[in-house]
Structure formats: C-alpha cells, structure tokens
C-alpha cells in the first residue's frame, strides 16, 4: 500500500498541471493534501474534504483533503465540523487522519483550535496520522508531537525507516538516495526544517520504504513524504 502526504501551499507555485502529473506518476492508494484549493483537485479522483462543507467549496479556503484513485475511502464519523485543517477517513476498515496543525503565535489565537484537533486525534484511534505538524525544535507543536509518540503508542515512521535502513531521499533528478541521519539534514520544508511527519500505531504495519521527495519543491514549498507498507496480518 502506498500513502502520500503533501502540503500544496494553496497551489500558489503551480502554473501548470504539475500536481496531477505527480499524483498520476506516484499513484498512491491514498493521499493527504494540506493547504489545498477545492477547485484544483482533478474530478477523476475520489475526494473527502475536511469539515462539513457542501460542494462547491470556496477556493480561497485552506483545506485538508484525502484523495484516492478509487472509492475505498469514506469520511469518518469523527469530524471537526467547521474546521478545515484536519480530515479523518476510513480506508477499507482502518481509520487514518490527515492533519495541519496551526502555529501558535504570541497572541495565542490558534491555541484552542490546536487543542481541539489534538483531542480529536487522540479519541479517533487512527492507525496512521500524517501531515504538516508545524513541529520543529523548541516550539510547542513539537511538544505535542512528542506527546503523541510517547503517550499514545505512535511511532515516527521516518525515524523507524532510519533505524531499519528503509528511509530514502528522492533528489530533484529522481534518484533514490539512502538516508543517513548523521550525514543528511532531515528537512521537508524549504526553510530547512522537518515539520511534516507520518506516524503509525505500533505494530500496525510492516514498513517497506519511506521516502522524502524533493521533486515536489518544483511546485510547492514542502517535500512530499511517500510511505510504502503492508498492514500487519495480525491487524487484519
């Protein structure tokens, strides 16, 4: 099974069909897209949008969406109503979550929204949580990420990939390079920060590969993260 997570920065860098070309090239079973414009997702894909919006959705809204090449995904009964940054879906019989955690500024305006999202995540029992956590060293979102890892039985699949020697970078020319945390600075964002993650419940999956793809920097400011895995037979 192939999963993709990618922040598209509202398609502000896209002047052609780069995103759809990339999606059709990768062909993930399910993709979670953050900061997505409603009118930029190809109608050939099956899409589940965050929030309780009715189509058509205002194209100015920064949406999160789960998309698939087939109809195996459906909206979970866990929702955030009028919030558009987090989408919970069921793929086959498993719950997955795509998130975009807000940064907390000095005015603390987004603090309640973040608490609400994290509360829903913890209650959802999602097998995989992925997206833009806006988490990096010395900010509060990093503390919440570590809480999910330490207290809620999730693992960071990039770190797991490093540990199992199954983590790779895809460079701008499409070459796959084995990741080495001692030699390579891990980053998923143009600001040389690692703020995008894929987490999974311990023992839920058998990791084949995880890849940070630099090719997406041609049309957004985030690297895509591609997860290749099998579901653990004990979980089926």
Domain ranges of the chain: 2-235
SS3 (DSSP) at 163: helix
- Tokens, residue 76: 């979970």
2-235 in CATH: which number? 3.60.10.10
- Alpha-carbon span 196 to 176, nearest angstrom: 19
- Alpha-carbon span 61 to 5, nearest angstrom: 19
pLDDT per position in the chain (236 positions), as tens? 999 999 999 999 998 899 999 999 999 999 999 998 888 887 778 888 777 666 667 667 778 899 998 888 887 765 555 567 888 899 888 999 999 988 766 556 677 777 888 888 888 889 999 999 999 877 888 888 888 898 788 999 999 999 999 999 999 999 999 998 776 677 899 878 899 999 999 999 999 999 999 999 999 999 999 999 999 987 76
pTM score = 0.92
CA dihedral angle for residue 227, residue 122, residue 108, residue 138, rounded to 10 degrees: -50
Q: Which residue's entry shows tokens 């004990």?
A: 234
The answer to whether residues 127 and 204 touch, using CB atoms and an 8 Å cutoff, is yes
Give the 3-state DSSP-derived string for 169-217, with helices as H, strands as E and coil as C.
EECCCCCEEECCCCCCCCCCECCCECCEEEEEECCCEEEEEEEEEHHHH
SS3 (DSSP) at 157: helix
């Amino acid at each position: 099974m192939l999963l993709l997570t990618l922040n598209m920065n509202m398609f502000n860098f896209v002047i052609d069909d780069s995103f759809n070309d990339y999606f059709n090239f990768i062909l993930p079973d399910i993709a979670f897209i953050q900061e997505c414009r409603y009118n930029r997702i190809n109608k050939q894909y099956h899409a589940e949008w965050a929030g309780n919006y009715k189509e058509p959705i205002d194209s100015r809204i920064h949406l999160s969406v789960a998309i698939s090449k087939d109809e195996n995904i459906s909206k979970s009964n866990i929702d955030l109503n009028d919030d558009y940054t987090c989408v919970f879906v069921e793929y086959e019989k498993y719950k997955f979550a795509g998130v975009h955690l807000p940064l907390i500024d000095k005015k603390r305006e987004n603090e309640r929204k973040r608490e609400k999202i994290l509360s829903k995540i913890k209650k959802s029992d999602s097998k995989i949580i992925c997206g833009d956590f806006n988490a990096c060293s010395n900010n509060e979102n990093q503390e919440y990420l570590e809480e999910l890892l330490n207290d809620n039985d999730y693992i960071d699949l990039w770190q797991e990939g490093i540990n199992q020697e199954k983590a790779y970078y895809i460079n701008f020319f499409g070459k796959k390079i084995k990741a080495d945390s001692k030699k390579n600075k891990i980053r998923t964002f143009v600001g040389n920060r690692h703020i995008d993650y894929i987490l999974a419940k311990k023992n839920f999956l058998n990791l084949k590969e995880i890849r940070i793809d630099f090719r997406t920097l041609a049309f957004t400011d985030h690297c895509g993260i591609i997860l290749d895995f099998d579901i653990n037979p004990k979980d089926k």
